């Protein structure tokens, strides 16, 4: 299906809304739409380049907002930090999970929604351990396990967020697509 103006506009709005939601105060840390957005972009956008760019763009926009709030003294969390480039790469690569879906259906969306945060959990915590991150853990197997243990509270939240936001993103897209197809056939 060729992307029409309605679908492109909807995708742009989705990136902006997801970016802004990520900085909402009081939301559970890690309950963010970026994992779902990476799956969605990989599954829906046929131009692979944009499938990788969209989740990274959303992260970058929200990081800009975080940095602005930090600079204004409103937030204690900066938008930009050492090692952040790894997160951008990981979120871009999570689009591969969406690209691996041969068919967009509830089962495949659920599997991808469980796989993406799991992959991110293992890779990001490994990278934190390997680089020393903010949590200097010994470079031993037990140090690595401690790093994974440190990340467990965020993992559960990221799973829940990815399932919820995948349902919203894919569900909204299917409704917009159905409406656009109906309008085009009239």
Of 55 and 100, which is predicted with more confidence?
A: 100
Q: Which two tokens stand for residue 78?
A: 């900066």
Distance set, CA 65 to CA 19, 24, 68, 86 (Å): 8, 10, 5, 19
Could you give all domains of the chain from N- to C-terminal order, each with its CATH number? 5-185 (1.10.1760)
N residues, the chain: 186
Percent of the chain exceeding pLDDT 70 equals: 91
Q: Under a CB-based contact definition with an 8 Å cutoff, are residues 116 and 94 in contact?
A: yes
CA 54-91-153 angle, to 5 degrees, is 130
Of 107 and 176, which is predicted with more confidence?
A: 107
């Amino acid at each position: 299906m060729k992307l029409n103006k309605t679908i492109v506009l909807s995708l742009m709005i989705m990136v902006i809304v997801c970016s802004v939601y990520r900085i909402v105060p009081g939301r559970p840390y890690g309950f963010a739409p970026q994992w779902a957005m990476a799956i969605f972009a990989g599954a829906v956008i046929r131009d692979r380049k944009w499938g990788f760019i969209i989740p990274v763009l959303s992260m970058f926009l929200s990081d800009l907002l975080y940095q602005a709030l930090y600079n204004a003294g409103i937030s204690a969390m900066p938008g930009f930090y050492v090692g952040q480039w790894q997160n951008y790469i990981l979120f871009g690569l999570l689009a591969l999970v969406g690209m691996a879906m041969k068919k967009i259906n509830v089962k495949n969306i659920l599997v991808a929604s469980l796989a993406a945060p799991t992959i991110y959990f293992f890779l990001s915590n490994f990278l934190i351990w390997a680089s020393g991150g903010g949590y200097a853990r010994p470079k031993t197997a037990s140090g690595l396990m401690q790093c994974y243990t440190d990340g467990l509270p965020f993992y559960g939240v990221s799973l829940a967020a990815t399932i919820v936001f995948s349902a919203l993103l894919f569900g909204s897209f299917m409704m917009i697509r159905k409406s656009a197809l109906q309008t085009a056939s009239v």
